[in-house]
Amino acid sequence: MWRCGSSPTSPSGVGVKLQGVVLQDATAASASAGVSAQSTTNAGKIVVTVQENPSLSVTVSGNGTFEIQGLPAGGFTLVFTVNGVTVGQITITAVAEGTTVKIVVKVSEQEVELVDMETDNDTETGTGDQGTKTCVIEGGKVGAGIELEGNVDSGSSSQFKLRVNGNRSSGLVDVAASAASYKCNGKKGGSDCKANLKPGVKVHVRGNLTSCGTSAATVTATEVMIQKD
Amino acid sequence: MKLRLAWTLGAILLLPPVAVASAAARARPAAKATADGTDLSASYSFLRSGEAHLHGADISASFHLKRSWRLLADLSVHSGSFAGADLKQVNFMGGVRPLFGRGRRWQPFGQAMLGASHSTSKFSDVLTSSQTSWGGALGAGVDYRLSSHWALRGQGDYLILHSDAGWDEDPRLSIGLAYRLPR
């Protein structure tokens, strides 16, 4: 670690290793991934802390890179602060011991958005024996927990199609959300919140990947967070 | 603490050559004439920037200033990827380079520079963010003279940069060729 002020990380080879790049969105503008390019200038000191073990904390370097080792297998939540103010968090689930997780995150003054995620066992979970990709979602494993961020393409609160941010999915993902709990801007909501789910809104979906092929995937959601109307 | 250590190291590097080099210059007037010429170098360069390992090129020019001291301009460009994002960093710095024992086949040198660095992080042509940092670099290296004009050069620098995101300390290693013009 060559960063001033960074906390020491746990010994390598224990738990889960996380490598990340933070891209700052100084304008807080939001655009659908792949639709328009955003170019911004970084403007703040970003610290990433592991919620389950706050002693695991690193300062993001000037070029946006950071690394944390010794994360708990199974899952963990990363809390992002910009200039000392908490702007959001990202939860990573279903991570096996010894895995390296690579994430790209967009951080603005108001929110944190997971743009892309890969794991070092992608070749085992997302491709076949011949190296052919078998799941439309990068790193997707049928039956395992999954978290996706993106924009609603079409549908309703019980069933909708999700356009996943970045390059993580090469196609739309079907989300079955009839049994999911809904949150709007971090607060639990009922039917009023569900009514906000319409094409174009940005959502964070947590659930299980129930099926995945080369052109389609289905996620059964347990929680849908509507981040922006 | 690291900063204090780095600047102390820099002071140690820069102090001795005044005495050492003047004695060497008296002993080798012919070598001095060549050693005083402008030199140009081009090197492969490795930079650890934050957590990323970047590769690229470093070019520099140095000009005779006084005795064993030279003025130095250095430009390096590095690129690579980390966690799925493409990274690029351009450093431009200027400073001084003291030479130790001019005219010998092995010629060590130190260097201290001030300048700026611009880094760009890009994901999938969709998201780009950039950062400009200011700071300096302390380093040392050695030339192995191949002929009167050509030398093999290896050097290491420690870049200390500050931006809105805080302080960064990036080590840089370079190896390449230097060409010294006649005075």
The DSSP result for A71-117, as a single string, is: EPSEEEEEEEEETTEEEEEEEEEEE-TT-EEEEEEEEESS-EEEEEE
Does A104 sit within 8 Å of B85, measured CB to CB? Answer: yes
**Residue A105 and residue A112 in contact, taking contact as beta carbons nearer than 8 Å:** yes
What is d(CA B96, CA B98) in angstroms, rounded to the nearest whole number? 7
Does A23 sit within 8 Å of B121, measured CB to CB? Answer: yes
Q: Band the pLDDT of A228: cuts 50, 70, 90.
A: low
- pLDDT (tens digit, 9 = 90+) per residue, A128-173? 333 335 577 877 766 667 888 888 998 888 889 898 887 778 788 8
Say yes or no: A84 contacts chain B, CB-CB below 8 A: no
Residue in A21, A62, A104 nearest the CB of B131:
A62
Whether residue A6 is predicted with pLDDT greater than 80 in this model: the reply is no
Using an 8 Å CB-CB cutoff, list chain B residues near A60: 50, 165
- Tokens 């439309």: give the residue: A136
Say yes or no: A66 contacts chain B, CB-CB below 8 A: yes
Which residue type occupies B38?
Answer: T
Contact map slice: A 130-159 vs B, CB within 8 A: none
Does B126 sit within 8 Å of A39, measured CB to CB? Answer: no
The residue of B7, B51, B77, B173 whose CB has the most chain A CBs within 10 angstroms, and thus the best one to mutate to test that interface, is B51
Using an 8 Å CB-CB cutoff, list chain A residues near B117: 62
Q: What is the pLDDT of residue A69?
A: 92
DSSP 8-state secondary structure symbol assigned to residue B101: S
Check residues A124 and A40 and name the one with the higher pLDDT.
Answer: A40
Q: What is the pLDDT of residue B34?
A: 55
Residue in B3, B50, B84 nearest the CB of A62:
B50
- Among B60, B136, B128, B56, smallest CA distance to B89 is for B56
What's the pTM value of the predicted model, to 2 decimals? 0.66
> If you measure CA to CA, which chain B residue comes closest to A30?
B127
Whether residue A21 is predicted with pLDDT greater than 90 in this model: the reply is yes
> If you measure CA to CA, which chain B residue comes closest to A20?
B83
Q: What is the pLDDT of residue A180?
A: 85
DSSP 8-state secondary structure symbol assigned to residue A54: T
Q: What is the pLDDT of residue A38?
A: 53
What is d(CA A78, CA B147) in angstroms, rounded to the nearest whole number? 57
Does B129 sit within 8 Å of A115, measured CB to CB? Answer: no
Three-state DSSP at B69 gives strand
- Tokens 């102090």: give the residue: B15
Does A39 sit within 8 Å of B164, measured CB to CB? Answer: no
Three-state DSSP at B26 gives helix
Q: What is the pLDDT of residue A78?
A: 94
In angstroms, the Cα distances linking A105 to A198, B37, B111 are 24, 50, 37
The residue of A6, A19, A21 whose CB has the most chain B CBs within 10 angstroms, and thus the best one to mutate to test that interface, is A21
Q: Tell me the pLDDT of chain A averaged across its residues.
A: 76
In angstroms, the Cα distances linking A90 to A28, A68, B73 are 17, 14, 44
Backbone angles phi, psi at A193, to 5 degrees: -70, -45
**Residue A133 and residue A126 in contact, taking contact as beta carbons nearer than 8 Å:** yes
The residue of B82, B158, B172 whose CB has the most chain A CBs within 10 angstroms, and thus the best one to mutate to test that interface, is B82
Lowest mean pLDDT among A190-199, A206-215, B2-11: B2-11
What is d(CA A185, CA A58) in angstroms, rounded to the nearest whole number? 27
Say yes or no: A23 contacts chain B, CB-CB below 8 A: yes
Does B129 sit within 8 Å of A62, measured CB to CB? Answer: no
Beta strand B166-180 with B150-163 is: antiparallel
Contacts of B33 (CB under 8 A, 6+ apart): B182, B183
Q: What is the pLDDT of residue A186?
A: 62
The residue of B54, B91, B127, B169 whose CB has the most chain A CBs within 10 angstroms, and thus the best one to mutate to test that interface, is B127
What is d(CA A29, CA A46) in angstroms, rounded to the nearest whole number? 19
Check residues A81 and A110 and name the one with the higher pLDDT.
Answer: A81
Q: What is the pLDDT of residue A120?
A: 79
In angstroms, the Cα distances linking A60 to A66, A81, A100, B13, B122 are 5, 10, 18, 31, 16
Say yes or no: A33 contacts chain B, CB-CB below 8 A: yes
- List chain B pLDDT tens, one digit each, 183 residues: 455 545 554 454 444 444 444 444 444 444 454 557 899 999 999 999 999 999 999 999 999 988 889 999 999 999 999 998 999 999 999 999 999 977 788 999 999 999 999 999 998 777 888 999 999 999 999 999 999 899 999 999 999 999 988 899 999 999 999 999 876
Whether residue A212 is predicted with pLDDT greater than 90 in this model: the reply is no
> If you measure CA to CA, which chain A residue comes closest to B128?
A39
Say yes or no: A215 contacts chain B, CB-CB below 8 A: no
For chains A and B, CB pairs below 8 A equal 141
Whether residue A187 is predicted with pLDDT greater than 70 in this model: the reply is no
Residue in B130, B166, B170 nearest the CB of A59:
B166
